[in-house]
């Protein structure tokens, strides 16, 4: 059964190719696309069951298909590696992809680019699964760039609006900055360790490098560059909010559930390297902690429903990075799983709302949808509770409490990280319930024009169930994952117990929900008064613009480049070569005059020339 592993990425790839090349009739498109992701999900489940029921030797299974190429000692193989980490990531990614494809069949039904959409989506799924299953870093890079390409294509899916194309290019270029760093990291690893197979690298790295050696730190930091680019963490996070220009299912699948967590996967996959480079690992934690706060504050001020969710995604991935940075590896992967469920659901429910409001994104023009879109209300609330981490009943609570506990107790944990985690919990509860209260309560502003059909409701329902029950597998999940990602226990773990940490987090959530209730439902005048004050207004604008990061990058990088391009419009290197050409032209026009057809001129020229020539030979 394990031998079917290659089918997981192959099925959606073939389907994407078929949809892109063949003139498939519209009716069939949905069947092919959904069928491919369903096949992929089923195969991944079968392989996972086979793996769990009879774990292979060494707790991993490698399937070598063929050697990609063989040149200069580098011979990467097309090979897939299956271990507990890739098992969890693959199954979650394949399953969520399947659900979102089902949802998209109805969501995109009126779109003229129906088959184009599904071709891109299937290609994305194939690339994502290749990334997760890759046995070597080069194949991982192929998947990594593949998902980046699909992200670009799908953000700019409605390409007739230039703003969407702009957003797509921004996402592509900003992530490319990180990817370049990552590629250099790969070169460094290959140069020092002589291989790109991830497992060999992880075995050789501790033999070649001391803890804290500069090469290990450099390699780890360069890989981190790729990870922060893809996962929209500080300082490369600016592309994600703009990426919301794509269709909502794309935001759910690519920019919430799967692709943006690729950075988390990369760091978890190469965690040995980060253990060798404590500096890099601390950087991971700090980047995550900073992003989770910055994005949390920004989410509080956004008025676009999808942008709130985008900032929330950045904030939650910040939690995952925090967990990775402190050494609580399984907690990060667990949060990836629960986040994939509830954040995908939030986007899908938001898609229902946006569709029903005739493409209205402004939450302040919604309101009162509780009774008119009850299905969206319930699913959104369940996912929102999970996101906020309502204790005991939601999956998000289990994973987030685990991270917060890890921030205190794990190897690199500290009370400071723990506090950041708790502030993040307060922010999450605030912005989540702000959305819920503003969108679904209060008085109605806009008419509901459309109601979701079965294809949109069923995936939401499944994800809603998962957003609640997925948390209960925490203990077996942790035990299963710790075979590959050992949790490192810190020194000051004993000061408070896990239970105390969870209770505190639960109280913070309750406080946040209550605050949101006061500010956004009960006494809207408080919020208005706060926003009207000078400091409040300044902060509001600062946070609304994502802490001025876009402005900063615009001034620091974009404007100078545009200025230089304008100055160098006629390209001074080109100018040099044009000058050479002009000089030749001038010389030609002078010499041309000597060719006048007068025989006597020629004779005189020859005579004069030979006199000069002989003189030169004789006297020089």
Partner 1 sequence: MRRNLIFILMSIEIMLNGTGVAFVAAGSRWGQPDGQIMFLFILAMAASEVAVGLALVLRLYRHHPTLDADAVSDMRG
Using CB under 8 A as the criterion, which residues of the chain lie in contact with partner 1 when the complex forms?
Answer: 595-600, 603-604
* Nearest-approach distance from CB 149 to partner 1, in angstroms: 58
Q: Specify the residue, 475 or 589, whose C-beta has the smaller distance to partner 1.
A: 589
Task: Decide whether 575 or 605 has the Cβ nearer to partner 1.
Answer: 605
Q: Which is nearer to partner 1, 73 or 597 (CB)?
A: 597
Give min distance, CB of 619 to partner 1, in A: 21
State in angstroms the smallest separation of the CB of 607 from partner 1: 10
Helix (H, G, I), strand (E, B) or coil at 77: strand
**N- to C-terminal Cα separation, the chain:** 90
CB of 572 to partner 1, least distance (A): 39
In the block, residue with structure tokens 């109805």 = 106
Q: Cα–Cα distance between 207 and 199 in angstroms, integer?
A: 13
Residue of 191, 37, 248 lying closest to 128 (CA atoms): 37
Q: How far is the CB of 600 from partner 1 (least distance, A)?
A: 5
Looking at the Cβ atoms of 160 and 593, the one nearer to partner 1 is 593
CA 202 to chain centre: 24
> What are the φ/ψ torsions at residue 79 (nearest 5 degrees)?
-140, 145
C-beta neighbour count of 328 within 10 angstroms: 32
Measured from the CB atom, the residue of 560 and 605 that comes closer to partner 1 is 605
The alpha carbon torsion through 8, 10, 12, 17 (nearest 10 deg) reads 180
User: Do 349 and 461 contact (CB within 8 A), yes or no?
Assistant: no
3-state secondary structure of 111: coil
**Closest distance between partner 1 and the C-beta of residue 605, in Å?**
13
CB-nearer residue toward partner 1: 1 or 604? 604
Q: What gap in Å lies between CA 498 and CA 488, rounded to an integer?
A: 15
What is d(CA 425, CA 458) in angstroms, rounded to the nearest whole number? 30
| Residue among 388, 385, 261 at smallest CA distance from 312 | 388
The residue (of 27 and 600) whose beta carbon lies closer to partner 1 is 600
Taking the complex as a whole, the smallest distance from the CB of residue 183 to partner 1 amounts, in Å, to 58
Q: What are the tokens at 526? A: 């408080």
Helices (DSSP H) in 357-392: which residue ranges? 369-372, 374-388
Rounded least distance, CB 603 to partner 1, Å: 8
Residue 93 to residues 253, 344, 474, Cα–Cα distance (Å): 9, 11, 18
Alpha helices in 302-328 (DSSP H): 305-326
Of 359 and 595, which CB lies nearer to partner 1 in the complex structure? 595
Distance of closest approach, residue 617 Cβ to partner 1, in angstroms: 17
**Phi-psi map region of 485: left, alpha, beta (phi>0 left; psi -120 to 50 alpha):** beta
How far is the C-alpha of 114 from the C-alpha of 558, rounded, in Å? Answer: 35
CB of 595 to partner 1, least distance (A): 6
Return the number of the residue (526 or 602) whose C-beta is nearest partner 1: 602
- For 149-208, where are the E strands, in sequence order? none
Smallest distance, partner 1 to C-beta of residue 583, A: 25
Cis peptide before 235 (omega within 30 of 0): yes
**Gap between the Cα atoms of 146 and 504, Å rounded:** 42
Tokens of 613: 């020539």
Judged by beta carbon, residue 1 or residue 603, the one nearer partner 1 is 603
Residue 566 or 593: the one with the smaller Cβ distance to partner 1 is: 593
Smallest distance from the beta carbon of 597 to partner 1, in angstroms?
A: 3
Q: Which is nearer to partner 1, 110 or 595 (CB)?
A: 595
| Complete DSSP assignment for 526-575 | HHHHHHHSHHHHHHHHHHHTGGGHHHHHIIIIIHHHHHHHHHTTT-HHHH
Cα gap 607→184, rounded to integer Å: 67
Smallest distance from partner 1 to CB 581, Å: 24
Pick from 5, 70, 71: which is nearest to 40 by CA?
5
- Nearest residue (CB) to partner 1, 65 versus 604: 604
């Amino acid at each position: 059964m394990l031998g079917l592993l290659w089918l997981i990425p192959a099925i959606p790839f073939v389907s994407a190719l078929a949809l892109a090349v063949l003139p498939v009739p519209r009716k069939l498109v949905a069947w092919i696309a959904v069928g491919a992701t369903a096949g992929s999900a089923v195969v991944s489940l079968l392989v996972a069951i086979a793996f769990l029921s009879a774990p292979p030797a060494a707790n991993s299974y490698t399937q070598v298909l063929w050697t990609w190429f063989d040149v200069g000692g580098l011979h990467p193989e097309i090979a897939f590696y299956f271990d507990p980490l890739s098992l969890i990531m693959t199954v979650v990614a394949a399953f969520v992809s399947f659900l979102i494809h089902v949802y998209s069949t109805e969501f995109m039904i009126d779109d003229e680019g129906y088959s184009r959409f599904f071709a891109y989506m299937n290609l994305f799924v194939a690339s994502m699964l290749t990334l997760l299953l890759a046995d070597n870093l080069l194949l991982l890079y192929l998947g990594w760039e593949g998902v980046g390409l699909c992200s670009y294509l799908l953000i700019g899916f409605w390409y007739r609006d230039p703003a969407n194309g702009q957003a797509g290019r921004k996402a592509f270029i900003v992530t490319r900055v990180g990817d370049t760093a990552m590629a250099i990291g790969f070169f460094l690893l290959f140069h020092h360790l002589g291989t790109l197979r991830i497992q060999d690298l992880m075995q050789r790295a501790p033999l070649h490098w001391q803890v804290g050696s500069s090469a290990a730190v450099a390699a780890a930091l360069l890989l981190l560059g790729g990870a922060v680019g893809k996962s929209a963490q500080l300082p490369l996070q600016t592309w994600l909010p703009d990426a919301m220009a794509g269709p909502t299912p794309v935001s759910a699948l690519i920019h919430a559930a799967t692709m943006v967590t690729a950075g988390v996967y990369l760091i978890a996959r190469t965690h040995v390297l980060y253990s060798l480079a404590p500096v890099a690992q601390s950087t991971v934690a700090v980047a995550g902690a900073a992003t989770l706060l910055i994005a949390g504050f920004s989410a509080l001020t956004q008025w676009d429903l999808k942008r709130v969710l985008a900032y929330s995604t950045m904030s939650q991935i910040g939690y995952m990075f925090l967990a990775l940075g402190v050494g609580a590896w399984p907690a990060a992967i667990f949060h990836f799983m629960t986040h994939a469920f509830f954040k995908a659901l939030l986007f899908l429910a938001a898609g229902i709302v946006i569709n029903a409001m005739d493409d209205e994104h402004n939450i302040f023009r919604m309101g009162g949808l509780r009774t008119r879109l009850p299905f969206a209300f319930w699913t959104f609330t369940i996912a929102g509770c999970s996101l906020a981490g309502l204790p005991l009943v939601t999956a998000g609570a289990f994973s987030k409490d685990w991270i917060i506990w890890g921030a205190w107790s794990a190897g690199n944990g500290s009370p400071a990280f723990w506090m950041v985690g708790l502030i993040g919990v307060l922010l999450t509860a605030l912005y989540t319930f702000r959305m819920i209260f503003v969108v679904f309560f209060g008085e109605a502003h806009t008419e509901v024009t459309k109601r979701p059909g079965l294809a949109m409701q069923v995936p939401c329902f499944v994800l809603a169930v998962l957003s609640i029950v997925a948390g209960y597998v925490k203990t077996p999940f942790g035990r299963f994952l710790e075979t590959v990602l050992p949790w490192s226990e810190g020194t000051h773990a004993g000061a408070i117990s896990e239970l105390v940490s969870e209770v505190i987090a639960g109280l913070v959530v309750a406080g946040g929900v209550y605050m949101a209730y006061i500010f956004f439902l009960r006494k809207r005048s408080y919020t208005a008064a706060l926003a009207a004050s000078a400091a409040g207004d300044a902060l509001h604008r600062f946070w609304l613009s994502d802490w001025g990061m876009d402005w900063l990058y615009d001034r620091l990088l974009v404007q100078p480049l545009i200025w230089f391009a304008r100055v160098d419009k006629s390209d001074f290197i080109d100018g040099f070569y044009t000058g050479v050409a002009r000089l030749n032209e001038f010389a030609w026009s002078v010499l041309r005059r000597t060719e006048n057809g007068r025989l006597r001129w020629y004779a005189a020229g020859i005579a004069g020339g030979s006199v000069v020539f002989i003189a030169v030979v004789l006297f020089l």
